[in-house]
Amino acid sequence: MSTKMNQLIEDQRNVHVLYSFHEVEDYMKQILNYIHDGIVAGEYIILIENARLYPMIQKELSGKYTKAQLELVHYVNSLDFYFSSGSYHPPAIHEYFKKVVQSYIQNDTAFRSWAHVEWASMQEPLYLIEDFEKIVDGEVNALSFPLICAYDGEKLPEYVKTFLMETHPYVLVEDDLIVSEQYRPTGKVI
């Protein structure tokens, strides 16, 4: 992860980042670096990931970290997370997230999150993703935690890319963190 990202997280904590990836190898490099930085900082990492990629991530981590360090990584199956109500429903996803982070908040424990956002098909009404990202942006600011939202860039229509740039103040591009000039704060308090 970039020094820029680490410095930003250290300075302000409420860091909402868009990461649009194209290759699984690049994705793995970024997620492993993010987890590493969280472990080094002594923070819990909420990893919202699919069941296909998580075993590969777990294998990489198990060879590098102690059991105590690995206990900082909290895996949440992305299918359960995004479709807890049977469909992609932002209020239900938000409630699920609040349950996941409740103990961290109550115990004033530092955490960060990585969310692999995906859906089985493009049949879902995509405006729901925009609605959810607005909710998430408010949550990141209210709870003051870093979050990277990772999307497969190959599967994103242009208008989705546009609203993602509008709902994320920062964008991870390769190993650099840039400010999104299209970002529009929602002003929502959650």
The rounded distance, in Å, linking the Cα atoms of 60 and 161 is 30
Pick the more confident residue, 171 or 90: 171
pLDDT digits (tens, 9 = 90+) for 30-85: 999 999 999 999 999 999 999 999 999 999 999 999 999 999 999 999 988 988 77
Examine the pLDDT at 1 and tell me if it is beyond 70: no
* pLDDT given for residue 124 in this prediction: 60
Strand 176-179 relative to strand 170-173: parallel, antiparallel, unpaired?
Answer: antiparallel
Three-state helix/strand/coil letters over 57-96: HHHHHHCCCCHHHHCCEEEEEHHHHHCCCCCCCHHHHHHH
Examine the pLDDT at 188 and tell me if it is beyond 90: no
Q: What is the DSSP letter of 173?
A: E
The rounded distance, in Å, linking the Cα atoms of 135 and 55 is 29
Domains of the chain: 3-179 (3.40.50.300)
**8 Å CB contact between 129 and 117:** yes
* pLDDT given for residue 123 in this prediction: 57
Examine the pLDDT at 10 and tell me if it is beyond 70: yes
Pick the more confident residue, 121 or 179: 179
Mean pLDDT, residues 110-116: 97
* pLDDT given for residue 182 in this prediction: 94
**8 Å CB contact between 20 and 151:** yes
> Minimal CA–CA distance to 79: which of 105, 133, 25, 116?
116
pLDDT digits (tens, 9 = 90+) for 131-154: 889 999 999 999 999 999 999 998
* Statement: the pTM of the whole predicted model exceeds 0.85: yes
Question: 189: pLDDT confidence band, cut at 50, 70 and 90?
Answer: very low
Average pLDDT over the chain reads 90
* Distance from the first to the final alpha carbon of the chain: 29
Give the pair of three-digit tokens for residue 14. 């409420």
List of E strands, the chain: 16-21, 44-49, 73-77, 111-116, 147-152, 170-173, 176-179
* pLDDT given for residue 190 in this prediction: 43
